């Protein structure tokens, strides 16, 4: 669905990108760094309310850069030859990175037609029947779309091998999680949860929902990373690292 909100965000993003290109042409120093593509850049372009959002070289988002940073540092890892389920594989840099490391890379979505990713499969997390199959499951900005998140989290837990990890990122606010009923209109969802197809908004208590599925949770927040390390990378968001 194209909404006025989306059009405005896209227009702002374009204007901000053009501004960056002009600054760069005018000799602004490339004193910032993108861990997703390795480029040194003059800054990040705006997206909606987020001032430092996208990398002008590769388009990476703050959460995409968080993942690359953590992988670069070895805080998290894809074991060699691992079986990796990559849900909603929008982020091209992570598709490449996971595919290179994994022995069995499975990009998947409930609607595979939305992706140009080789080998994309149809997987409905609500009825996923895979058991003890994956070493890593990555789902960024997926859980706020699924009708029953308790069911999906237990399916994810079952699909992980012992010692396997799910890496989950969701949009967060600074209040408790709130679920919307299935009868909410798209407009009402956009008003309450920020986007027409989000059925809930999470707070940091998302960790409790993951734990209720029997997984051990580590919360890795961008704001807790050493500033001397991540200073110029415009990294944001929170990774919920869930271990079986
Ligand atoms: Zn980049």
Neighbours of ion ligand 1 (CB under 5 A): 34, 36-37, 55, 57-58, 60
pLDDT per residue as tens digits for the range 128-187: 988 899 999 999 999 999 999 999 999 999 999 999 999 999 999 999 999 987 788 889
* Architecture category of domain 61-243 in CATH: 3-Layer(aba) Sandwich (3.40)
Instruction: Give me the mean pLDDT over the 64-82 stretch.
Output: 97
Q: How far apart are CA 141 and CA 153, in angstroms?
A: 14
Question: What is the model's pLDDT at position 1?
Answer: 59
SS3 state at 243: strand
Per-state percent for the chain, helix, strand, coil, to nearest 5: 35, 25, 40
Given a cut of 90, whether residue 80 has pLDDT beyond it is yes
- pTM, whole model, 2 decimals? 0.91
Phi-psi region of 122 (alpha: psi -120 to 50; beta: other; left: phi over 0): beta
CA of 13 to the centre of ligand 1 (A): 15
CA of 64 to the centre of ligand 1 (A): 9
Q: How far apart are CA 130 and CA 100, in angstroms?
A: 23
Q: Average per-residue pLDDT in the chain?
A: 93
Q: Where are the beta strands (DSSP E) in 125-215?
A: 134-140, 160-169, 178-179, 200-201
- Which residues sit opposite 148 in a β-bridge? none
Please report, for the chain, the start and end positions of each structural domain, with discontinuous segments joined by +: 1-60, 61-243
CA of 193 to the centre of ligand 1 (A): 28
CA of 54 to the centre of ligand 1 (A): 8
CA of 7 to the centre of ligand 1 (A): 23
CA of 55 to the centre of ligand 1 (A): 5
Q: Where are the beta strands (DSSP E) in 70-155?
A: 83-87, 104-109, 121-122, 134-140
CA of 87 to the centre of ligand 1 (A): 21
Question: What is the model's pLDDT at position 2?
Answer: 62
pLDDT per residue as tens digits for the range 43-67: 999 998 889 999 999 999 999 999 9
Residue 226 near residue 236, CB atoms below 8 Å: no
pLDDT per residue as tens digits for the range 121-137: 999 999 998 889 999 99
Question: What is the model's pLDDT at position 10?
Answer: 77
Q: How far apart are CA 60 and CA 125, in angstroms?
A: 25
Q: How far apart are CA 201 and CA 209, in angstroms?
A: 13
| Of 212, 220, 224, residue with least CA distance to 241 | 220
Q: How confident is the model at residue 188 (pLDDT cuts 50, 70, 90)?
A: confident
Question: Lowest mean pLDDT: which of 23-32, 148-157, 172-181, 227-236?
Answer: 23-32
Residue 244 near residue 210, CB atoms below 8 Å: no
């Amino acid at each position: 669905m194209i909404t006025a909100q989306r059009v405005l965000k896209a227009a702002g993003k374009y204007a901000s990108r053009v501004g960056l290109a002009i600054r760069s042409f005018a000799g602004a120093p490339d004193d910032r760094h993108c861990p997703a593509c390795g480029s040194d850049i003059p800054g990040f372009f705006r997206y909606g309310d987020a001032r430092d959002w996208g990398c002008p070289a590769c388009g990476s988002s703050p959460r995409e850069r968080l993942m690359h940073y953590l992988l670069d540092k070895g805080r998290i890892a894809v074991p060699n030859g691992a079986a990796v389920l990559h849900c909603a594989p929008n982020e091209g840099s992570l598709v490449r990175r996971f595919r290179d490391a994994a022995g069995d890379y499975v990009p998947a979505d409930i609607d595979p037609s939305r992706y140009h990713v080789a080998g994309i499969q149809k997987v409905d997390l609500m009825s996923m029947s895979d058991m003890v199959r994956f070493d890593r499951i990555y789902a960024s900005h997926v859980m706020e779309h699924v009708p029953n998140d308790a069911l999906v989290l237990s399916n994810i837990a079952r699909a992980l091998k012992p010692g396997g990890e799910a890496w989950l990122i969701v949009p967060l606010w600074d209040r408790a999680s709130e679920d919307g009923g299935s009868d909410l209109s798209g407009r009402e969802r956009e008003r309450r949860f920020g986007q027409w197809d989000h059925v809930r908004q999470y707070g940091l208590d998302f960790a409790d929902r993951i734990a209720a599925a029997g997984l051990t949770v580590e919360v890795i927040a961008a704001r807790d990373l050493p500033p001397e390390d991540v200073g110029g990378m415009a990294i944001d968001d929170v990774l919920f690292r869930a271990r079986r």
